Structure 1
Amino acid sequence: MNTRVLQLIGAEVGEGASDGGCKWAQPALRERGIQLALSATGRVVTWGDPVTAQPLRASNRLDAIEHFSLRLAAAVEKTLRDGKQPLVLGGDHSSAAGTWSGVAQFLRPVGRLGLIWIDAHMDAHTPQTSDSQAPHGMPLAALLGHGSDGMAALYGWRGKLLPHNVVVIGARSYEPAEAELLAALNVRVMTMEEVLDRSFAVCFNEARNQVTRDTVGWGLTLDLDGLDPLDAPGTGTPVETGIRLADALPVLAQCSTDPTFVAMELAEYNPLRDFGGHTAEAAKQLVCAALAPGEPVQALAA
Structure 2
Amino acid sequence: MHIRVIGAPIDLGADRRGVDIGPSAIRYAGLHDHLRALGHTVSDFGNIHVPQPESRPIGSPKLKYLDPIVEVSEELANVVTDALKSDQFPLILGGDHSMALGSISGVANVHKNLGIIWVDAHGDFNIEETSPSGNIHGMILAALVGQGNSRLTHIGGWAPKLNPENIVIVGARDLDPGEQELLRKHRVHVYTMSDVDRYGMSNIMSQAIEIAGRQDQPIHLSLDMDSLDPREAPGVGTPVRGGLSYREAHLAMEMVSDCKHMVSMDVVEVNSILDRENATALLAVELILSALGKKIL
Q: CA deviation at 1:294?
A: 4.7
Q: Which secondary structure state, in structure 2, belongs to the residue aligned with residue 94 of structure 1?
A: helix
Distance (whole Å) between structure 1 residues aligned to residue 91 and residue 82 of structure 2: 13
How many residue pairs match? The answer is 290
Unaligned runs of 5+ in 2: 60-64
Distance (whole Å) between structure 1 residues aligned to residue 149 and residue 71 of structure 2: 12
Aligned partner of 2:264 in structure 1 is 263
Q: CA deviation at 1:131?
A: 2.4
Aligned partner of 1:233 in structure 2 is 234
Distance (whole Å) between structure 2 residues aligned to residue 78 and residue 259 of structure 1: 21
1:76 to 72, 80, 83: 80
Unaligned runs of 5+ in 1: 298-302
- After superposition, the Cα gap between the structure-2 partners of 1:107 and 1:23, relative to the gap in structure 1 and judged at 3 Å, is same
- After superposition, the Cα gap between the structure-2 partners of 1:105 and 1:294, relative to the gap in structure 1 and judged at 3 Å, is same
Distance (whole Å) between structure 1 residues aligned to residue 259 and residue 88 of structure 2: 15
- After superposition, the Cα gap between the structure-2 partners of 1:203 and 1:102, relative to the gap in structure 1 and judged at 3 Å, is same
Q: CA deviation at 1:296?
A: 3.8
Distance (whole Å) between structure 2 residues aligned to residue 171 and residue 248 of structure 1: 13
Task: Letter of the 2:9 partner, please give it.
Answer: E
Distance (whole Å) between structure 2 residues aligned to residue 91 and residue 262 of structure 1: 20
Task: Report the TM-score, using the length of structure 2 for normalisation.
Answer: 0.93
Q: CA deviation at 1:122?
A: 0.7
Task: Letter of the 1:78 partner, please give it.
Answer: D
Q: CA deviation at 1:210?
A: 0.5
Contact kept, 8 Å, 1:200 with 1:243, in 2: the verdict is no
Task: Letter of the 1:65 partner, please give it.
Answer: I
> Can you list the C-alpha shifts for 1:252-280, whole angstroms capped at 9, x where unaligned?
12333444310011010101111112111
Alignment of 1:14-53 (within 5 A): 14-53=11-50
Task: Report the TM-score, using the length of structure 1 for normalisation.
Answer: 0.92
Q: CA deviation at 1:149?
A: 2.4
Task: Letter of the 1:40 partner, please give it.
Answer: A
> Can you list the C-alpha shifts for 1:141-180, whole angstroms capped at 9, x where unaligned?
1111112223211122212110110011111112111110
What is the alpha-carbon root mean square deviation over aligned residues? 1.6
Task: Letter of the 2:149 partner, please give it.
Answer: S
Aligned partner of 1:180 in structure 2 is 181
Percent sequence identity is: 37
> Can you list the C-alpha shifts for 1:214-239, whole angstroms capped at 9, x where unaligned?
46311110100001111111100111
Task: Letter of the 1:143 partner, please give it.
Answer: L
> Can you list the C-alpha shifts for 1:45-80, whole angstroms capped at 9, x where unaligned?
111131132243566312111111111111111110
Distance (whole Å) between structure 2 residues aligned to residue 78 and residue 258 of structure 1: 24
Distance (whole Å) between structure 1 residues aligned to residue 267 and residue 195 of structure 2: 23
Task: Letter of the 2:95 partner, please give it.
Answer: G
Q: CA deviation at 1:202?
A: 1.0
Distance (whole Å) between structure 2 residues aligned to residue 41 and residue 215 of structure 1: 25
